[in-house]
Structure 1
Amino acid sequence: MISDPTSSRARRMTRQVRVGKVLLGGGAPVVLQSMTSTPTHDVDATVMQVNRLAAAGCDVVRVAVPAKEDTAALPEIIRQSPVPIIADVHFHYERALEAIDAGVAKIRLNPGNIKDRKQVNEVILACKRVGIPIRVGVNEGSVVERQDKAVRETEKGELARDYHTNLIRLMVRKLEE
């Protein structure tokens, strides 16, 4: 455990991961992340929001990339951004591959929405090739009810294997309540 002078809670020692120029974990300062609410393909609105978030203290900003037009906008958004950009991938693994090619600093992937193991592995290999981390965000609602806890744990374990820069975080609605 690491003591954190800004908190009464001790921090668990974790592996350090680089997201662009920002370090996460491993005793690095806590990183503030937010997400834009603009359609990512609207470059001007997205960059304006990224700049406002950075000015407010965000260290990294996540943008949604549900469509090809969104990933097509990423190079310009990244070029204008003062902070690393993270691509939040929804249902199409191709968007992850396009975002990686565009130069994002990290991918957020939900394997509950991208169910084909070969497609998920392709994203993992692409991230590994360019040296960017993946945050595996498994939302409770994206995992079919019959795929209870055991399956969620299996998915988490399979994705973490053999890729040391994976960031594992289960986003379970109950924890947010």
Structure 2
Amino acid sequence: MNISLFHMLEGKNICFKALNTRDAKAIHHFASDVEVSRFIGWNLMKTLNETSEFIELMLKRESAGTYLYASIVLKSTRKIIGTAMIFNFDQEANQAEIGYVFDKCYWGRGYGSECVALISDFAFESLKLHKIHASVVDENIGSARVLEKNGYELEGRLKDHYFIENKYYDAILFGKIQAK
């Protein structure tokens, strides 16, 4: 798996770059936002140190070959506005899960759709995956729309799947199979 290719993906408005602990402050800006954290499946990052430690964990996972991570950069400003990932690789079934997180200041501007298109194209063309899927917190209507715009189909719901900040949320499952 060529990690560096994932870090070099580029679209019209956004591009990816390798995740780096030097970017902890920019990532902490959205990882510490209550409104963002309730949609991403992990607890709020309360301190910059927690965010730095989480980035180090993500880098270890990437080094082990079990995850791909990238910072999402707005090309016009070179500002980090989110993170993108491919994870939960299943070699036998030839599939993986995708994820993305954006600073709420950049919600509703089309960057999520562009990001999912970049990840999906990479997963199918470079990684040659048969299927990619995503799990969305049920209240995250925007993310569900982004997936649907990119050809993902609703596959199901898992009741009380996420436990975030002492509250349960359902997971909505989406999938996309490589076109033949």
TM-score w.r.t. the length of structure 1 is 0.32
TM-score w.r.t. the length of structure 2 is 0.31
Q: Highest CA radius of gyration, 1 or 2?
A: 1
More strand by share: 2
